[in-house]
Amino acid sequence: MSTDLAYQTTRQLAAEIKSGRISSRELVQTQLKRIDDLDTETNLVVTRDDERVLRDADAADKKRANGDVLGPLHGVGITIKDSFMTEGMRTTSGAPELSKFVPESDALPVARYKEAGAVILGKTNLPLYAGDAQSYNEVFGTSSNPWDTSRTPGGSSGGSAGALASGFTPLELGSDIGGSIRGPATHCGVTGHKPSYGLVPALGQIPGPPGTLSQADIAVAGPMGRTVDDLEIGLGILAGPDPWNAKAYRLDLKPPRCLKTSEYRVAVWLDEESCPIEKDVRRLILSAAEALQGAGARVNLEARPDFTFTEAVSVFDRLLGAAMCGGFSRQQIEDLAAKGVAGDSASARTLAAQHASQRHRAWLSSNEKRLQLRAKWESFFENWDVVLMPAMPTAAIPHDHSHPMVERRILVDGVERPYIDQLKWAGLVGVAFLPATVVPLGTNENGLPIGVQVVGPFLEDLTTLDVARRIESNFGGFKRPPKFS
């Protein structure tokens, strides 16, 4: 597959197929060959069914030849995160007990990509049940970052982000509860959009168990790509009411708040003692703010909503703990409750056990605190249009699969910090259901990519995408990893 074709955008590839300059079969054959040739060290695409892929591509070519109406993804091969059920294609969520599970139906977001004409090339790797900031599991092993294979592509949508950076797919489907779209996007130098909660139905994602109809608190499904345009195409396909509400509800997203960069009011949130960031992360985000300011935007480094960082992260931690144990048995919950009582109250492991086993009345209290945070964000966004902040405190970290996870450490400019710091900047906004778009800014002194998280008001996703596009135009957007150029 030519490098130029491998790195064309979703829109460009769809146009090539629609015009007849390339067939869907030719595209997916070359995509599959590129994965064969280049995914040896990175281990990003972990399940394939090439015969079926080619049949689907042939069917797409037949529709075009017959003059049928073509969707925006018609005939384009894409990959899907392995937490989303895909009809007729193995879906494991990294769990040994699901290593041979082949769903009989698609997750709703997968179905929407297919209805738009996409051909599913295969599934991309993730951690066990999407529960880590790295992507490895007993079923498929470890995925590595295409920029540096000694480092993680992030998690849980690490295979997704790595496949985009490697030129294996132009578009992906990720999920995010604690930065699982945003972290991998910044670590691999691609784009990702965490939609406002509820905007994209995630029915059919594992966890919970296959067949679960409830959708986890905080968690969202969303598009990942290499450009903001990819994200806008993906969101346009994925967004809309779920089947419960589709009888009456219709999607009507507000347009971007501003027509010109000079009209935007941009807050910048960088410095928090409880979660410091690397100097290169700070430098690059400041440069993005300066670029917007240079184009006339009003920029403020001190503006904050009326609550503290630690207050919001504390609410996030409690609600995340409850959301992550939705599939646990009663005995597992009781065991965690016992650990929460007996353990050291200052221990991260004890706090995690307490949050996972909290009673419903405690959850209701945390939910009320979350609603208070949301109200304060709403007030804040009366005066500011977006906030720029880190998606992660560092660039991609070296592989570290030690147990227990909560006792791992990361280095921030040479200083040890808790591993769970990687959730904090993501949780700050995720707990309030806000949209956030990640766009690459450049690389640190070690040549590793770093992105910025553009956060906006609830259900004003098109505003964060618009500001991200303006940042992208200033910084040149996606760059190819050296080994894949």
- The count of other CB atoms within 10 Å of the CB of residue 293 is 17
Local confidence pLDDT in tens for the 485 residues of the chain = 455 789 999 999 999 999 999 999 999 999 999 999 999 999 999 999 999 999 999 999 999 999 999 999 999 999 999 999 999 999 999 999 999 999 999 999 999 999 999 999 999 999 999 999 999 999 999 999 999 999 999 999 999 999 999 999 999 999 999 999 999 999 999 999 999 999 999 999 999 899 999 889 999 999 999 999 999 999 999 999 999 999 999 999 999 999 999 999 999 999 999 999 999 999 999 999 999 999 999 999 999 999 999 999 999 999 998 887 766 666 766 676 676 666 655 566 666 667 777 788 989 999 999 999 999 999 999 999 999 999 999 999 999 999 999 899 999 999 999 999 999 999 999 999 999 999 999 999 999 999 999 999 999 999 999 999 999 999 999 999 999 97
The per-residue DSSP string of 244-289 comes to: TTTTT----PPPPS-SSGGG-EEEE----TTS---HHHHHHHHHHH
The burial class, CB within 10 Å (0-12 / 13-18 / 19+), for 359 is exposed
CA distance 380 to 385: 9
Q: Which CATH class is domain 3-238?
A: alpha beta
Token couple for 100: 């041979």
Q: What residues does each domain of the chain span?
A: 3-238, 306-379
Residue with tokens 């498929």: 140
The pTM assigned to this predicted structure is: 0.96
Q: Could you tell me where the beta strands, DSSP code E, fall in 54-108?
A: 77-81
